[in-house]
Amino acid sequence: MYSKIRLMFDNIKSMPAKVCLSLSFLIGIMYSINFIFFSSCSVVNGDGDCFSLIPNGATPDDEAYGRGAGTLYVAGVLMFGVITGNLLILNEGARGKWTIMIPTIAGFTCLAIVLAPPFQGGYESANNNPLFATIAALGLYTAAYFMLKEEGVDEGLAFNMEIKLNNEAKYAVILSSIIGTLYSINHFFFADGYAGGEGSTLISGFEEGTYWTNPIAATPLSYRVLASFFVIYVSMGLILLTNGAKGNWAVAHILLFGITFFALSIIVGNLVANDQVIPGDDNSPYTQDTSTATANIVVSAFVMFLNIFAYYKMREEGVEDGMTFAGEDFSNSDDFFYKMYPAVTAGFTVILLIANFVTQPL
3-state helix, strand, coil in the chain (%, to 5): 65, 0, 35
State pLDDT tens for residues 158-184: 888 899 998 999 999 999 999 999 999
Name residue 286's beta-bridge partners: 276
Domain count across the chain: 1
Q: What angle do CA 329, 334, 335 make, to 5 degrees?
A: 75
Please state, in angstroms and as integers, the Cα–Cα distance from residue 173 to each residue in 82, 153, 237, 248, following that order: 18, 24, 6, 14
Does residue 277 lie within any of the structural domains?
A: yes
Cα distance between residue 165 and residue 313, in whole Å = 10
CA-closest candidate to residue 108, choices 276, 235, 274, 245:
235
* Mean pLDDT in residue range 127-135: 94
Chain centroid offset of residue 78 CA: 2
Cα distance between residue 181 and residue 67, in whole Å = 26
Asked if residues 137 and 174 have their Cβ atoms less than 8 Å apart, the reply is: no
Check residue 221 and give its pLDDT: 94
CA-closest candidate to residue 314, choices 257, 243, 229, 261:
243
Q: State the chain's mean pLDDT as an integer.
A: 93
Please enumerate in sequence order all residues whose Cβ is within 8 A of that of 23, keeping only pairs 6 or more positions apart, or say none. Answer: 140
- What is the three-state SS of 205-220? CCCCCHHHHCCCCCCH
Does residue 3 lie within any of the structural domains?
A: no
Domain that residue 224 falls in: 11-359
Does residue 6 lie within any of the structural domains?
A: no
pLDDT band at 1 (very low <50, low <70, confident <90, very high): very low
Name residue 328's beta-bridge partners: 325
Q: Fill in the amino acid letter for 127.
A: N
pLDDT band at 119 (very low <50, low <70, confident <90, very high): confident
Does residue 34 lie within any of the structural domains?
A: yes
Helix 98-115 and helix 220-243: axis angle, to 10°?
160
Q: Which one has a higher pLDDT value, 293 or 118?
A: 293
Does residue 263 lie within any of the structural domains?
A: yes
pLDDT band at 324 (very low <50, low <70, confident <90, very high): confident
* End-to-end Cα distance, the chain: 40
3-class secondary structure, 276:
strand
Region of poorest pLDDT, from 198-207, 295-304, 325-334: 325-334
14 CB neighbour count, 10 Å cutoff: 16
pLDDT over 70 percentage in the chain: 97
Cα distance between residue 74 and residue 292, in whole Å = 14
This prediction's pTM: 0.94
Q: Fill in the amino acid letter for 25.
A: F
Does residue 313 lie within any of the structural domains?
A: yes
Does residue 77 lie within any of the structural domains?
A: yes
Cα distance between residue 297 and residue 320, in whole Å = 30
State pLDDT tens for residues 59-86: 998 888 999 999 999 999 999 999 999 9
Strand runs (DSSP E) across 93-241, as ranges? none
